[in-house]
Amino acid sequence: MKTKTVLITGGSGFIGSYLCELLLARGYRIICLDNLITGSLSNIAPLFKNHGFKFIKHDISKTIGIKDKIYYVLHFASPASPVDYLKFPIQTLKVGSLGTHNALGIAKAKRAKFFLASTSEIYGDPLVHPQKENYWGNVNTIGPRGVYDEAKRFSEAITMAYHRAHGIDTKIVRIFNTYGPRMRKEDGRAIPNFISQALKNKPITVYGRGGQTRSFCYVTDLVDGIYRLMMSPLNEPVNLGNPKEMTILQLAKEIIRLTGSKSRIVYEMLPQDDPKTRQPDITKAKKFLKWQAKVGLEEGLIETIGYFRLNKVEKAS
């Protein structure tokens, strides 16, 4: 059988790099595109020795000609943490809109399948709890998070349009909060912030009173679900995430406990439009993909804390 090639945009990002690894291990050739504004070459450094792996530094918001035959296009490029998309608002809007259009164009030209990384952010500050795929969401279009939420909502719309108008076999995953090694310490999300702060015994910055909830999924669980969805016949969006919900204050306390830190908790201003609750309803993933998260929060956090400790040691030496 000839080796199939998968094109991954955002392949050197946090989730993208795990996908590159998983697909290489399953015998696919990989073309990884990334403009490296939030991705990092260190995430994919071990993959360069693999002959089946090619990296192209490119911004998918601009068109690109690809000579190779492509079996699957996976569109994962986008700033994805609130701090990042506030820092790169225009790039975030462009990669979700123009970037998705370009990635779909490649899939169409190559008669490839297409996979979109969407997000729980499309539900905005949800009025339905937990969130099922048939909920349409509650998004402030002109708020600071609108740049990400609306870009991803558009990317879902154009993906379904290409599916309906051009008959492309498209898939959409709505990714809920995911964590694990390779998250950037400075990416601003709760888990990397809290772990970095805890390891330095600095104050843990809980925004608001910390009563807002999230549900955290370990990255290897997520990519397992992504692979199952890639190989499934489903074209409608599917939620992937760990339904175990907790408050941000509980998360902060858990990280203090697991790091053995002397940090105290300080309360800072809640960012505008910060969702008050978030929990995936994964009935669909369970039923059609036979998928559910396996890694518990304690186990996943211990791995992640280990990575952050090691990174600190490497940086210091």
**Alpha helices of the chain — where are they, by DSSP H?**
14-25, 41-44, 82-87, 89-110, 146-166, 190-199, 219-230, 248-259, 283-289, 297-316
Residue 235 to residue 190: CA distance in whole angstroms: 32
Strands 245-247 and 213-215: antiparallel
Nearest-approach distance from CB 171 to ligand UDP, in angstroms: 22
Residues in 188-227 that interact with ligand UDP by CB under 6 A: 189-190, 193, 205-207, 212, 214
Residue 236 to residue 128: CA distance in whole angstroms: 19
Nearest-approach distance from CB 122 to ligand UDP, in angstroms: 12
**Judged by CB, which is closer to ligand UDP: 211, or 306?**
211
Residues in 241-280 that interact with ligand UDP by CB under 6 A: 248, 271, 274
Q: Which of 23, 43, 182, 183 is nearest to 7 (CA)?
A: 23
Nearest-approach distance from CB 152 to ligand UDP, in angstroms: 12
117: contact with ligand UDP by CB under 6 A: no
Residue 278 to residue 239: CA distance in whole angstroms: 12
Residues in 79-108 that interact with ligand UDP by CB under 6 A: 81-82
Residue 78 to residue 91: CA distance in whole angstroms: 8
Strands 178-179 and 217-218: parallel
**Judged by CB, which is closer to ligand UDP: 112, or 241?**
241
Nearest-approach distance from CB 121 to ligand UDP, in angstroms: 6
Residue of minimal Cβ distance to ligand UDP: 189
**Judged by CB, which is closer to ligand UDP: 31, or 217?**
217
Nearest-approach distance from CB 31 to ligand UDP, in angstroms: 29
User: Quick check: 282 and 292 in contact, CB under 8 A?
Assistant: yes
Give the chain's largest Cα–Cα span. Answer: 58
The CA distances from residue 133 to 120, 137, 172, 283, 314, in Å, are: 10, 10, 11, 10, 42
**Judged by CB, which is closer to ligand UDP: 34, or 84?**
84
177: contact with ligand UDP by CB under 6 A: yes
Q: Which of 52, 316, 61, 10 is nearest to 182 (CA)?
A: 10
The two structure tokens encoding residue 201: 């015994």
50: contact with ligand UDP by CB under 6 A: no
Q: Which of 51, 58, 54, 57 is nearest to 70 (CA)?
A: 54
Q: Which of 221, 232, 234 is nearest to 180 (CA)?
A: 221
**Judged by CB, which is closer to ligand UDP: 35, or 197?**
197
Nearest-approach distance from CB 83 to ligand UDP, in angstroms: 7
- Catalytic hit among 18, 28, 148, 218: 148
**Judged by CB, which is closer to ligand UDP: 9, or 193?**
193
Q: Is 148 a catalytic residue?
A: yes
Q: Which residues of this chain interact with ligand UDP, rule CB under 6 A? A: 81-82, 177, 189-190, 193, 205-207, 212, 214, 248, 271, 274
Residues acting as catalytic residues = 148
